[in-house]
């Protein structure tokens, strides 16, 4: 792998002692979105922030656009060009050049609020936090409309209306249920090097293990209750939309995250379990039909590396809805066929549910499943009842 500066802005070489934040932007064939992403990084306190664009191969003209942006921006910015090596490697290449006391990442098809990122770095410094997180929202690419990010309710629970919190993972184990994406956060650079935080190369869903590793080892974690990241969905060809064997990377990533969680509190592991189950089930819905059975077998295997008591705690104390409880119970008891039918939207086969009912942990699952099945039937009965009553009145 080679890398070189393709362009640097006119003020790149100015004294960099005062740099508070370096933002690394890995780019691979995202020309249509790159301009908006980069523009969202142009900040008012220019001297504090630098932007490092890593062009990770690709041939759609992204490089020319990035070079042009760097030449004209008032920001301290550079472009590194390297042969395609994947998102994780591109991030690492950018990190190697970073000089800010904190570093953050922006995917080249997303948007950030740089004012929020800068405030996070400032809070991290002032409050002595190694990692500071912010909220994100979903941006629908085709309409530019925004919608709730799936961890919004966890943010609401954790913050309870506060503007900022400074916590440790032991105080706030629900940190592990926040989006494991590396982006909506800034990390102290010295901390990152000290704990050897690295993104596993060539792996999809690569953020999960470093997420756990980082939060576990951080002295303090800051939470800024402001929206700093817009996660774009619905564009063609996004990595995470790939329905392919690469989903198996998720199992590997969860395995690495569980390794990284060794020695953490049961509460923290329980929250990791919830995050893992959510990710794995979502992937199970999106693998090919031929791969689904094998995927679920391996996924159940990796989840069951966590202790049964941990999985029970996750279900009892930290699940926020019935669906989560059902998924957790099914993973915990190894109810492969139940998950297989749910993920493929198949008519559920009765015998796996019966077998599940024999299992002590499984009874709750069966109860929840029956309730879920009964709900439409009850609704129909109510409607019919209403109609009959209406007819009687008439």
Partner 1 sequence: MIEPRGLRAALGALPAALPAGLAAEDAARLRAGFYGPLHAAAGGESPSALYVGGRSGLEALAALHRSPTATVLVVEPDAWLRGTLADALGQHAGARVVATVAEALAAAGGRGIGFARIDAPFCDVDLLALLERQGVGHLCGLFRPDRIDPLALYRRSRDQVARSFFWREADSPLAFGGDAGPVEVEVSVVVPAYRVSAEIDRCLASLAAQEIERLEVIVVDDGSPDDTGARAAEWAARHPGRIRVLAKPNGGCASARMVGLAAARGEYVGFVDGDDWADARMFEGLYQAATLGGAEIAQCGFVEAHADGVDIPCRDAAGGDGPGGLTGLVRDVREMLVLRPTIWRRIYRRDFLLGSDIRFPEHIRRFDDLPFQFEALARAKRTAVLPDPWYFYRQGRVGQDVLARDDRLFVHFEIFDWLRARVSTWADAAIERQLLRVELNTHLWALGRIEPQFSAEYRRRAQRQLLANRVHLPPAECLAIAARMGRRAGGLMLGAAARHGWARHGEAAP
Closest among 320, 51, 105, 77 to 214, alpha carbons compared? 105
Q: Please, what is the minimum distance in Å from the beta carbon of residue 274 to partner 1? A: 21
Told to check if 148 binds partner 1 by CB under 8 A, we report yes
Interface mask toward partner 1 for 82-101; x: CB under 8 A:
--------------------
3-state SS of 16-70? Answer: CCCCCEEEEEEECCCHHHHHHHHHCCCCCCHHHEEEEEEEECCCCCHHHHHHHHH
Q: Are 118 and 112 in contact (CB under 8 A)?
A: no
Told to check if 290 binds partner 1 by CB under 8 A, we report yes
Query: Which of positions 213-232 make contact with partner 1 (CB under 8 A)?
Result: 225-228, 230
299/316 Cα distance (integer angstroms) = 21
Q: Within its chain, how far is the Cα of 187 from the centroid? A: 16
**φ and ψ at 44, to 5 degrees?**
-70, -55
Q: Are 223 and 151 in contact (CB under 8 A)?
A: no
Q: Which of 49, 52, 111, 277: binder of partner 1 (CB under 8 A)?
A: 111
Kindly tell me which of 217 and 304 has the beta carbon lying closer to partner 1.
Answer: 304
Told to check if 293 binds partner 1 by CB under 8 A, we report yes
Q: Are 5 and 80 in contact (CB under 8 A)?
A: yes
Token pair, residue 244, equals: 């392919």
Q: Which of 321, 347, 376, 391: binder of partner 1 (CB under 8 A)?
A: 347
Q: Which of 28, 33, 102, 205: binder of partner 1 (CB under 8 A)?
A: 33
Q: Which of 17, 160, 262, 345: binder of partner 1 (CB under 8 A)?
A: 345
Told to check if 119 binds partner 1 by CB under 8 A, we report yes
Q: Which of 13, 39, 259, 309: binder of partner 1 (CB under 8 A)?
A: 39
Please, what is the end-to-end C-alpha distance for the chain in angstroms? 80
Window contacting partner 1 (CB under 8 A); options: 30-38, 53-61, 78-86, 189-197: 30-38
Name the residue with tokens 């400032």.
122
119/127 Cα distance (integer angstroms) = 12
Q: What is the DSSP letter of 346?
A: P
Q: Which of 71, 193, 346, 375: binder of partner 1 (CB under 8 A)?
A: 346
Q: Which of 260, 296, 302, 326: binder of partner 1 (CB under 8 A)?
A: 296
Told to check if 242 binds partner 1 by CB under 8 A, we report no
Q: Please, what is the minimum distance in Å from the beta carbon of residue 13 to partner 1? A: 19
Closest among 28, 88, 339, 333 to 208, alpha carbons compared? 88
215/203 Cα distance (integer angstroms) = 20
Q: Please, what is the minimum distance in Å from the beta carbon of residue 163 to partner 1? A: 6
Told to check if 147 binds partner 1 by CB under 8 A, we report yes
Q: Are 79 and 7 in contact (CB under 8 A)?
A: yes
Told to check if 336 binds partner 1 by CB under 8 A, we report yes
Give the footprint of partner 1 on this chain (CB under 8 A).
32-33, 35-36, 39-42, 44, 46, 74, 111, 113-116, 119, 135, 137, 139-148, 152, 163, 225-228, 230, 234, 236-237, 243, 285, 288-290, 292-293, 296, 336-337, 340, 344-347
């Amino acid at each position: 792998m080679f890398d070189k500066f393709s362009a640097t802005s006119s003020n790149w070489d100015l004294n960099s002692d005062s740099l508070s934040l370096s933002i690394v932007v890995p780019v691979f064939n995202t020309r249509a979105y790159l301009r908006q992403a980069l523009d969202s990084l142009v900040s008012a306190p220019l001297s504090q922030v630098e932007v490092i664009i890593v062009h990770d191969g690709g041939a759609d003209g992204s490089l020319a656009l990035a070079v042009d942006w760097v030449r004209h921006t008032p920001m301290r910015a550079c472009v590194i060009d390297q042969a395609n090596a994947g998102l994780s490697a591109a991030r690492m290449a950018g990190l190697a050049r970073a000089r800010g006391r904190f570093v953050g990442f922006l995917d080249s098809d997303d948007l950030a609020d740089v004012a929020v990122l800068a405030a996070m770095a400032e809070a991290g410094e002032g409050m002595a936090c190694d990692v500071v997180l912010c909220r994100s929202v979903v941006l629908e690419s085709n309409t530019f409309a925004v919608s709730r990010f799936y961890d919004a309710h966890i943010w609401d629970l954790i913050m309870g209306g506060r503007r900022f919190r400074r916590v440790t993972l032991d105080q706030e184990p629900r940190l592990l249920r926040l989006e494991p994406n590396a982006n909506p956060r800034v990390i102290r650079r010295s901390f990152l090097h000290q704990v050897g935080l690295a993104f596993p190369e060539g792996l999809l869903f690569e953020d999960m293990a470093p997420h756990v590793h980082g939060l576990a080892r951080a002295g303090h974690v800051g939470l800024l209750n402001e929206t700093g990241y817009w996660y774009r969905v619905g564009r063609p060809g996004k990595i995470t939309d790939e329905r392919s064997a690469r989903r198996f990377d998720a199992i590997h990533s969860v395995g690495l995250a569980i390794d990284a969680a060794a020695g953490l509190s049961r509460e923290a592991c329980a929250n990791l379990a919830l995050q893992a189950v959510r990710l794995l089930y979502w992937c199970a819905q999106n693998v090919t039909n031929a791969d689904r059975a094998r995927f679920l077998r391996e996924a159940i295997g990796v989840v069951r590396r966590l202790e049964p008591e941990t999985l029970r705690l996750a279900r009892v104390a930290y699940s926020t809805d019935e669906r989560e409880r059902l998924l957790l119970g099914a993973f915990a008891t190894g109810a492969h066929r139940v998950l297989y039918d749910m993920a493929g939207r198949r008519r559920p086969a009765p015998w796996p549910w019966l077998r599940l009912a024999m299992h002590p942990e499984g009874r709750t699952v069966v109860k929840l499943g029956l309730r879920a099945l009964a709900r439409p039937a009850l609704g129909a009965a109510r409607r019919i009842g209403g109609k009959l009553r209406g007819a009687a009145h008439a």
